[in-house]
Structure 1
Amino acid sequence: MELATLLAVYFGCCAVAHFGYEPLRNHGLFDIIAQETIFQAIPLKRVRDYWGELTNRGVPGTGPYQPITRKKETRLLILEPGEPDDPLRGRLVNVELSWRTRYEALSYAWGDDSVTTTLECAGHKFNITPNLRDALIDLRYSDFERVLWVDAVCIDQTDNVEKQHQIRLMGSIYAEARRVLIYLGKAEDSVSQAMAQIRKLDLKFIPLSTLRYSSRHEAYGPLVYGLIESFSGRLPKMAPIPDGSVDWDQVISLLQRPWFQRTWTKQEAILAKRAVVFCGTQSVSWFALERVVNGMDLYAAEVGVIPGFETVLHTMKGIKMVRAARRERYRHLLDGTAFLSYHDILPKPRKEYSELLDLIIESRQFQCSRPQDKIFGVLGVAQQDTSSWLLAANPSIPVSEGFRNFVVWEIFVNKSLRVLGCSSNRDARSPQALPSWVPNFADLDRQPGLLRLQHRVAFNAGGDTSIQARLSRDEKVLYLRGRAVDMIHTVGDNLNDTDDVLYLSERADDQFKGAKPDMNRYLVLQSRGVLVTEAIRIWNAACQRLGSSRGPLAAKSQEARAPDHITEGKVYPANWDSFWRTLICDCNDLGRPAPESFAPSVLTYINLVTEITSLGEAFVKRWMKEAKLAETYGSVDSESETTFASKSLKEAQMAERSVSLASKSRRFAGTDQGLAGWVPKGARKGDVVAVMYGSRVPFILRMAEDGKYRLVGECYIHGLMAGEAITAPEMEGNETEFALV
């Protein structure tokens, strides 16, 4: 098929999907038709109610729950109709999950379980939390029954064996539901108009949709991106929303609801084929909420100020995570990018939200009642074989054992050392007796890890070796074979622990009031100036040690750094190529290997942040003056040294995103042999740089008692990321079995 024909089919599919099929699906038209026709004649696939028969005969001790005996068996709550003031009543039925089992699954934040109210089921009274009571009252129909799956009621919470079985089944329960009902809580005054405001914003943010598509240019490829760019320049741009036309307080208050901060709820939203968001009895589709949140993100970065936006950054990240994971899980031929990938016009999509470790990392900032739920709360989303006993959701085992079991599963079953790169907080609140090689998953560091986007990066520190690992008999010591390469000589004092993007704040100083989004970029770049200046100093000192080093990798590193570097006709000083790649961990702003063409962006960035650091307020005043001139006259004097409205700022910000990804929760460091790179924030002078067999990145180790080591974390050391420690002839015979405690 010719390219022109494929493109015509592509745009036709996109049009059908986005303007026809998806709106009808999202509004539930197809579900309603099926429910009112086919499934009126097809009943639920029930399991025979032996338990109810015994109860009706008066057999004592039967209780409210019929035992679950089949692999895909669960219970459903038949909620009886009633008015808001009527008592809650229902009954439980055992069913098998299948295409004919029609129900809605409830997703809500449990809330305080120390305060309870009652739900009556077939003569038995269940204690339920106030949040669940509110949900059932608001979602109950007044004239006919509603079939629901509700975890607190449909699972016997006193039976740990049943809980383990149902947690493993939860992926199927939410995925096979007609729809998932996301309940955010009662419609109090602070959010009474929130749903109406979201529907209004969904229309107002339409001009921002081109920014959303253009931001994904590398996903679409140069051909499709070129078409998007050519058309987007002709479309109307979004102007700032006038004060008072949108009640931002209502929207922000809604996004601050506890549902958005919970770990379990992310899984439930990802698994849903269709979801509806309720606040009280008012609702919007999940897809509309996704679009509005994405629009708010772009609006705050590119157009204007959203009051209180900084208070919901975690909520924004959570919704974007759900959106990305859903796109991976439910791709179909009506998705244009999937269609082009199938025909090899675009690269095949990467699975970045399908592995359990990735999901745990991405949900690290969310809350859960038990530390183990950091793992079990996303287990149902993982597209891996998680049937191992090591991942059994057993609430009776200690937290430390649950965390250790997951690490053992990741290394020995999943054949990966990525989990060792999950640095975490190990203060007095950490679970008892955690070895250094077992992260505290309840308190992971801010940075996602060098291998979070493992399908994008080209790191391969371990070369073509395979993992060689074993456990001690008491499973407290992890033995890994590898090579000790170097030792840390210098560690920087400065640390990047800020958010990736800083937004314009309504609380900014008076001199910045009304500033355009360029001031936002200035604030971001200003925070990096000291960090980059320190990195340059450590790098130069490492180069001096490299010149006199006789280490096994010194000759190769010296050869790589020696010549001047030429990029786009410009000659940069010796060592330039190695330095700029080290500064960004050799990754561009999307986490992919940085091409040669990225060098000018990094150079512009370095010049900009160092100038900001040296000039301080004078730099800001100069920019404010130039910005005012540009706004008044439409251009700025070409002789100006720095103009934030210029192309160079956009180019520099691309590098800023790369530096932010590289430096988050890390420090710049140099080694004894003259190498340099980013190390964990807890690293210090004298720590060992080691490359483990089968690992894609080096690790920092610290000597402990009896010749053992403690794991500090993963690192990026330029000159070790492509298997140099394995292939260099000088490193042969340097093999060590590291005992990690």
Structure 2
Amino acid sequence: MPASARDEDAARQYQYQRLSSPSEFRVLELFPGTADEPVSYRLHTADWKAPLAYEAVSYAWGDGGHRHPVICDGLQHMISLNLRDGLIAMRLEDRSRMLWVDSICINQKNTEERGQQVSHMRSIYEGASRVLVWLGPDIESRGEQAIAAIREITKECLKRRDKDMDEASLRSVDELWDVLPTERLEGLRCDNPETWKALAWLFSRPWFSRLWVIQEVNSNEDVQLLCGGSQVSWDAAVVTASYILRNATIHRHWGFPESYYSNAYYMRRRYWLQQVSLPSLLNWGRSFKASEQLDRVYALMGMPSFTKMSITWKADYSKSKKMLYEDVATKCIREMKNLRVLTYSQHSQDDKSFPSWVPQWDREALYEPINDSLTKVHWKASGNRGLPADTEIAAGVLRVNGVVFDVVESMRPLGSATWSHRQLDHPVLQFWERQRRESRAYPTGETNLEAFSFTMTAGLGHDLRKALETRESFNADFAAYLGQLLRQSAYNPTAYRSVTVAGKGGNWSHYDDLVRRKCRNRTLLLTKRGYLGLGPTCQVGDYVCILQGGEVPFILRSTNGNFRLVGDAYIHGIMEGEGMIDPEMFKSKRFDIH
């Protein structure tokens, strides 16, 4: 293309004018039109001191490589195909509509403006008259069918709970799970395979997988979902997602396992979102999608876990990933006055360029943290010792006091923890068989088999409380689980008669669910002093350490006199500060963790 032609083409492209103050923002006036007319709009500059009335749009950006021309202030403007379809669906025929759309109202090429506007994202959505969620075009009327089912399910749930409740009243309900009936609804018109498939299709829309939308739907009480020409409230959609989640006979079939229906339920858990710690929130966010590494933090910055901290958070897109993630970990340690954020650090020891104690939030979680705030359990491996005042963080190094409690002697990777109940080399059966031959006491005075049963669930009972608090029922569940494995693995019944007796009244699936959850991608380890643990992928000679301010033990690896964090661990018998009792045996030392 000749230079003159390129210059002429650039002149026809819309050019953003710089915002003159931090309190200014843009609002899009979507001009009226019919479905077959091109999309046309104008951008207005507004100010927080006297904002225009507008609706905020939430949508999945889609493939940034496929962009389509629209008209902005008479000039060509390129937007994604999904957004163009959404604007056509939201456009009115007889009058303009005032909207806020992030990719249009923010100059995405200006990193300074982008950071400033993103820092106010929650305020933008709070200030909107309502939030419009664009799920995408309807295909073969599946969206229409699914939304009709959402209305029916929600209506029936409310009828059984309180005949005076309606869909609008759901806005004031913090936990929508409480709206559900305990039994499956009978007589629903939508209770058929085709409609369940339509609902699974709706909950498979990419919007339900995006990280940014969590903040967007939690910043305004009036949120409406749009799919093609159909519309329904966000609250009603979540009631339906919760109903599906509650009924296994539904969510195990018809495409739901491949959908994001459970995301909808968790995104709307207001009480949990108010209480959850910042590291746990960021860890939960790993299961959602974001196009940029920095957005793993910035997309959630308006959530209570951030806003409740005394530190002011601002988006800065000039930062590197390493700078931002280290800054987040440092602020968490200083603000929370503990080392909980370290339990979320799960990355390769080969990556020496990144501090081992700093979680990389853009990487998929390999396993569940031992002390995650999603459970009701909070361990205190360092006793009542808080974070020491002399804890230092400088140049990517965390300097903290603690003790070396033990050393890893052997270990067994547990993989996906989805072992077949019929396999003879099942780790639980192997351990049970060894105990029959050489039973010995555990360091705490329990049997090794008892210690093993607690270790495999990281000390949790099926109600996600400490198993020791309900030891009798926990032991029965474990015995029932062991009996289930033995029966299906063709053992001689006389060999496990005592197990059958002990498991009477127990629920083997309770224990099985916990094992699958807590052992996934973990390593079963044995220390030189005879302690059993559930840790990260480690190696012989790694140190089992208790760091002051740490709620759980950590596995550290010594490298040229310094240390790198391998990961967090459950070590049975030292989770309540027992490893800090004898200061003569376990002398405090200084750890430089790189």
Q: Is the pair's TM-score, using the shorter chain for normalization, greater than 0.5? A: yes
Letter in 1 for 2:535: V
- Return the letter of the residue paired with 2:445: R
Residue 300 of structure 1 deviates from its aligned partner by 2.1
Change in 2 beyond 3 A, CA 1:427/1:689: closer
Change (3 A) 1:243 1:145: closer
Find the counterpart in structure 2 of residue 366 from structure 1.
Answer: 288
**CA displacement 1:632-678 (0-9 Å, x = unmatched):** xxxxxxxxx99xxx9946x3333334434432332222211111121
Partner of 2:479: 607
Query: Which whole-Å CA distance do the structure 1 matches of 2:233 and 2:383 have between them?
Result: 48
Query: Partners of 2:66 and 2:252 in 1: how far apart?
Result: 40
1:264–1:541: structure 2 CA closer, same or farther, 3 Å change rule?
farther
Q: 1:578 to 1:328 in 2, by over 3 A?
A: closer
1:737 aligns with 2:594: no
The residue correspondences of 1:656-735 to structure 2 (distance < 5 A) are 656-680=512-536, 682-704=537-559, 706-731=560-585, 734-735=587-588
Any conservation in 1 of the 2:306–2:313 contact (CA below 8 Å)? no
Q: Which runs of 5+ in 2 are unaligned?
A: 1-12, 163-177, 492-498
Alpha carbons of structure 1 residues 322 and 98: separation in structure 2 relative to 1, 3 Å: farther
Cα deviation for residue 710 of structure 1 reads 1.6
Task: Describe the superposition over 1:670-716 as per-residue Cα deviations: whole angstroms up to 9, x where unpaired.
Answer: 21111112111x12221100011111111001121x21122110111
The answer to whether the 8 A contact 2:325-2:359 is kept is yes
Report 1:187-586 matches (<5 A): 187-189=138-140, 191-192=142-143, 193-202=145-154, 238=186, 244=192, 246-301=194-249, 306-312=253-259, 315-324=260-269, 326-328=270-272, 351-353=274-276, 355-385=277-307, 392-426=314-348, 433-453=353-373, 456-468=376-388, 469-472=391-394, 475-497=395-417, 530-534=426-430, 536=432, 544=440, 558=443, 560-561=444-445, 574=447, 578-586=451-459
In the TM superposition, what is the alpha-carbon distance from 1:258 to its structure 2 partner? Answer: 1.3
The answer as to whether partners of 1:451 and 1:457 remain within 8 angstroms in 2 is: yes
Partner of 1:108: 59
Unaligned runs of 5+ in 1: 1-60, 211-226, 330-350, 499-522, 548-556, 563-573, 620-640
Q: Larger deviation: 118-127 or 484-493? A: 118-127
Deviation at 1:137? 0.7
Match of 1:602, as an amino acid? F
Cα pair 2:421 2:489 within 8 Å, conserved: no
- Partner of 1:487, secondary structure, is strand
Provide the secondary structure at the position in 1 that maps to 2:247. helix
Instruction: Give the Cα separation in 2 of the matches to 1:542 and 1:183.
Output: 63
Give, in whole Å, the separation in 2 of the partners of 1:454 and 1:115. 39
Distance 2:480 2:189 in 1: 31
* Structure 1 residue 127: Cα displacement: 1.7
Letter in 2 for 1:665: N
User: Helix, strand or coil for the counterpart of 1:292?
Assistant: helix
The 1:540–1:380 alpha-carbon spacing in structure 2 relative to 1, beyond 3 Å, is: farther
Shift of 1:389: 9.2
1:148-167 to 2 correspondence within 5 Å?
148-167=99-118
Change over 3 Å in CA distance of 1:542–1:182 after alignment to 2: farther
2:17 to 51, 65, 76: 65
Query: Kindly tell me: are residues 138 and 454 of structure 1, through their superposed partners in 2, closer, same or farther at Cα, counting changes over 3 Å?
Result: closer
Give the whole-Å Cα distance in 1 for the aligned partners of 2:199 and 2:527: 50
Deviation, 1:360, is 1.1
The 8 Å contact of residues 414 and 520 in structure 2, kept in 1 or not, is answered as no
Mapping of 1:44-123 within 5 angstroms? 63-71=15-23, 73-97=24-48, 101-123=52-74
For 1:591, the aligned partner's letter is L
SS of the aligned residue for 1:416 comes to coil
Question: Counterpart in 1 of 2:9?
Answer: none
Distance in 2 (alpha carbons) for counterparts of 1:65 and 1:387: 35
2:119 maps to 1:168: yes
Going from structure 1 to structure 2, the CA distance change for 1:527 and 1:443 (only over 3 Å counts) comes to farther
**TM value normalised by structure 2:** 0.82
Closer, same or farther in 2 for the Cα pair 1:184/1:525, shift >3 Å? Answer: farther
**1:356, 1:379 within 8 Å by CA — same for their partners in 2?**
no
Contact 1:542–1:671 (Cα < 8 Å) also in 2: no
Q: Could you tell me which amino acid in structure 2 is paired with residue 735 of structure 1?
A: S
Q: Deviation at 1:575? A: 5.9
Structure with more of its chain in helix, by fraction: 1
* CA apart distance, 1:721: 1.3
Query: Which deviates more, 123-132 or 98-107?
Result: 98-107
Residue pair 2:414, 2:523 contacting (<8 A) in 1 also:
yes
CA–CA distance in structure 1, aligned partners of residues 77 and 393 of structure 2 = 45
Equivalent positions of 1:118-129 (< 5 A) are 118-129=69-80
1:412 to 1:191, Cα distance in 2 relative to 1, 3 A: same
* 1:186-230 CA distance string (max 9 Å, x none): 1122734332233344456679989xxxxxxxxxxxxxxxx999x
Structure 1 residues 208-256: Cα deviation after superposition (integer angstroms, max 9, x where no partner): 989xxxxxxxxxxxxxxxx999x96xx7875899984642322222222
Evaluate the alpha carbon distance shift between residue 62 and residue 238 of structure 1 in structure 2; reply closer, same or farther with a 3 A threshold: closer
Separation in 1, partners of 2:217, 2:185: 32
The amino acid across from 2:346 in the alignment is S
The C-alpha deviation readout for 1:254-287, integer Å capped at 9, x for no partner, is: 2221111211122212223221111112111111
In structure 2, C-alpha distance between the alignment counterparts of 1:529 and 1:104, rounded to whole Å: 59
- TM-score (normalised: structure 1): 0.67
Describe the shift of the 1:455–1:305 C-alpha distance in structure 2 as closer, same or farther (beyond 3 A). closer
Is the alpha carbon distance of 1:123 and 1:456 closer, same or farther for their aligned partners in structure 2, counting shifts above 3 Å?
A: same
Post-superposition offset of 1:98: 6.9
Amino acid at match of 1:104: E
Residue 244 of structure 2 aligns with an amino acid whose one-letter code is M
Provide the rounded CA distance (Å) in 1 between the counterparts of 2:437 and 2:353.
Answer: 39
Give the 3 Å change call, closer, same or farther, for CA 195–454 of structure 1 in structure 2: closer
Instruction: Give the stretch that moved more between structures: 397-406 or 130-139.
Output: 397-406
**In the comparison of the two structures, how many residue pairs are matched?**
556
